[in-house]
């Protein structure tokens, strides 16, 4: 397993991370424990969860129990801001809400601190200065080590950076955004902003909800129980002819080099210098093993460029 700095910080994380959104939803406590143990034994250190996963806290609770006795071997990242109940007081990035939210997450995870605490979505109703000031206080109290954003645009990353610098506050060190060979939109503004300010990018859905595993077939309905099958009519965009064309060309590229499409999806992202860790979910220990090994293919500069051309959108 390769390890990298989390953005411009000194914290090391595994280049492959585990997304914990399936814990409590598709994985019971026993399965969660087996996934976590397999991940740690495979060299994975980063576990990414959120208070809203599970749903409503169950992912954090399951992860906390699974990590008993192994907390010091891991880096725990969680998120706040998504709805945790009815009404405006049960969501967002206001100091009142996030201070309560972190205490609840720490309790569910059965830990004294979070290595990375991320704002799940931008909150237009709360000034970013208020949010950063509250997060800064959590770092000073030792409850949080680093902070990050998720689903921010390029200008929002720049605005938060300027606000933190001008207010002498701790700054965001990571950005977690949707990013895969089938969705490269963040390259337009988010990637340049992160490179300029030293944020590490944590891609989520790197396998494009299974499209980059070969799970889906052109002209056929998604397999029962798959993510895109659960999406219903919303899956039509992902299952487009253009996406299938890209998948087929990427598959051919990988197979010519005796690799799988899964390995290409991970390794291409891992080859990018601004990526800190590739976040992917798992519902079994076997998936963990496959994901952990997938990023070991070291693409040459020429191969990186060829893949970028195939997936150009």
pLDDT value, residue 64: 98
Q: What is the Cα–Cα distance from 229 to 302, expressed in whole angstroms?
A: 36
- What dihedral angle (degrees, nearest 10) is formed by the CA atoms of 181, 179, 293, 79? -170
pLDDT value, residue 234: 63
The answer to whether the CB of 95 falls within 8 A of the CB of 133 is yes
The answer to whether the CB of 237 falls within 8 A of the CB of 216 is no
Task: Provide the mean pLDDT of the chain.
Answer: 94
Tell me which residue has tokens 């909800």: 209
Quote the percentage of the chain above a pLDDT of 90.
86
Which of residues 7 and 312 earns the better pLDDT score?
7
pLDDT value, residue 236: 67
pLDDT value, residue 230: 66
- The encoded tokens of residue 305 equal 């460029």
Does the annotation mark 53 as catalytic? Answer: yes
pLDDT value, residue 56: 87
pLDDT value, residue 159: 98
pLDDT value, residue 214: 80
Q: Catalytic: which of 3, 53, 146, 216?
A: 53
DSSP per residue, 188-232: TTHHHHHHHHTPEEEEE-TTGGGGGGT---TTSPPPTTSHHHHHG
Q: In this predicted model, what pLDDT tens digit does every residue of 223-257 receive, in sequence order? A: 776 776 666 666 667 778 888 899 999 999 999 99
Q: In this predicted model, what pLDDT tens digit does every residue of 110-131 receive, in sequence order? A: 999 999 999 999 999 999 999 9
pLDDT value, residue 232: 67
Q: What is the Cα–Cα distance from 81 to 90, expressed in whole angstroms?
A: 8
Whether the per-residue pLDDT at 281 is higher than 80: the answer is yes
User: Where do the domains of the chain lie, and which CATH numbers do they carry?
Assistant: 3-207+266-298 (3.20.20.100)
Q: In this predicted model, what pLDDT tens digit does every residue of 50-69 receive, in sequence order? A: 999 998 899 999 999 999 99
Model pTM? 0.94
Which of residues 279 and 229 earns the better pLDDT score?
279
- How many CA atoms are closer than 13 Å to the CA of 231, on its beta-carbon side? 15
For 6: left if phi > 0, alpha if psi spans -120 to 50, otherwise beta; the answer is beta
Whether the per-residue pLDDT at 168 is higher than 90: the answer is yes
208: nearest Cα among 233, 190, 187, 185:
185
Q: What is the Cα–Cα distance from 49 to 138, expressed in whole angstroms?
A: 18
């Amino acid at each position: 397993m390769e390890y990298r700095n989390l953005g411009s910080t000194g914290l090391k994380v595994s280049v492959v991370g585990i997304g914990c959104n399936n814990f409590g939803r598709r994985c019971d406590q026993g399965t969660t424990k087996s996934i976590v143990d397999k991940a740690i034994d495979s060299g994975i250190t980063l576990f990414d969860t959120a208070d809203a996963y599970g749903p409503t806290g169950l992912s954090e609770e399951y992860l906390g129990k699974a990590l008993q006795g192994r907390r010091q071997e891991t880096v725990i990242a969680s998120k706040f801001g998504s709805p945790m109940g009815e009404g405006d007081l049960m969501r967002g990035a206001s100091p009142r809400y996030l201070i309560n939210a972190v205490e609840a997450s720490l309790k569910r995870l059965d830990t004294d601190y979070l290595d990375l605490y991320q704002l799940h979505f931008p909150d237009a109703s709360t000034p970013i200065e208020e949010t950063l000031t509250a997060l800064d206080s959590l770092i000073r109290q030792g409850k949080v080590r680093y902070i990050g954003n998720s689903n921010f645009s390029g200008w929002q990353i720049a605005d938060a950076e300027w606000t933190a610098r001008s207010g002498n506050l701790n700054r965001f060190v990571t950005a977690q955004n949707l990013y895969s060979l089938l969705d490269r939109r963040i390259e337009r503004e988010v990637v340049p902003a992160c490179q300029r300010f030293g944020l590490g990018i944590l891609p989520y859905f790197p396998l494009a909800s299974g499209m980059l595993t070969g799970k889906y077939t052109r002209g056929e309905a998604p397999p029962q129980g798959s993510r895109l099958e659960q999406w219903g009519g919303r899956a039509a965009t992902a299952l487009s002819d253009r996406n299938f064309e890209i998948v087929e060309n990427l598959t051919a590229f990988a197979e010519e080099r005796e690799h799988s499409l899964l390995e290409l999806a991970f390794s291409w992202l891992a080859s990018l210098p601004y990526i800190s860790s590739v976040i992917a979910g798992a519902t079994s220990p076997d998936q963990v093993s496959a994901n952990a090994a997938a990023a070991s293919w070291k693409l040459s500069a020429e191969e990186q460029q060829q893949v970028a051309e195939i997936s150009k959108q």
